Amino acid sequence: MSKARTPFNWLTLGLLVAAGFLLLWSSRQAPQHQSEAHADQSLAERADTPLNEDKPFAAAHVIMQLNDPEPAHHTAALSIANNLIKHYGGSDQVDVEIISFGGGVSLLFAEQNGNRARIQSLMQNGIRFYICGNTLDTIAHKTGQRPQALPGVVEVPTGVASLVEEMARGYKPVHP
């Protein structure tokens, strides 16, 4: 009785060899940027310190991403922030940041803002609001006028980068 031979598959062999080389190459690579190694060190050093020293007892650290111009999403973000304060038993027990970029920046404009009182109330309860400087610059370039943010809103150079950095620090992302 003769044994049936399986045809040799060159494609499978090639993929296996390529994967092996890739694994070997990546294991020998140093961090591409010194800042990557430095960032890991900084995160390790901060492991024993609270993410927000103003809220050392916070049970949760949340960053909400707002990049949609829809008023319903703006309302949802503000409602979620308020609900988190209620759920955790007060503003000292939860740390919430709202970062707006792209279409979401309109929530934080100083002019004609129907949410002004609600945002100011949330700020008084420790919710922090950030607005993307890149988006504001883009609006200024297109319209000739740079929108002003509400008082207390902090401008960051790049909204998405700030979101990524806060997530790396341990903040949990929410996208209403």
Q: For 17-25, what is the mean pLDDT? A: 50
Q: Is residue 42 part of a domain?
A: no
Cβ-proximal residues to 64 (8 Å cutoff; 6+ apart), any chain: 77, 80, 81, 96, 97, 98, 99, 173, 174, 175, 176
pTM: 0.72
What stretches of the chain adopt beta strand conformation (E)? 60-66, 94-100, 128-132, 154-156, 172-174
Whole-angstrom Cα distance, residue 18 to residue 145?
A: 53
pLDDT one-digit tens code per residue, 93-121: 999 999 999 999 999 999 999 999 999 99
The answer on pLDDT for 34 being more than 70 is no
Average pLDDT, the chain: 82
Q: Is residue 125 part of a domain?
A: yes
Whole-angstrom Cα distance, residue 121 to residue 56?
A: 21
Q: What per-residue confidence (pLDDT) applies to 56?
A: 83
State residue 64 phi and psi, 5-degree precision: -100, 130
Q: What per-residue confidence (pLDDT) applies to 152?
A: 97
Output the domain CATH number for residue 122: 3.40.1260.10
User: 């609006």: which residue's tokens?
Assistant: 139
Q: Is residue 22 part of a domain?
A: no
Q: What is the domain range of residue 137? A: 52-174
Residue 127 corresponds to which tokens in the numbers above?
């919710």
Q: Is residue 118 part of a domain?
A: yes
pLDDT one-digit tens code per residue, 128-166: 999 999 999 999 999 999 999 999 999 999 999 999 999
Domain count, the chain: 1
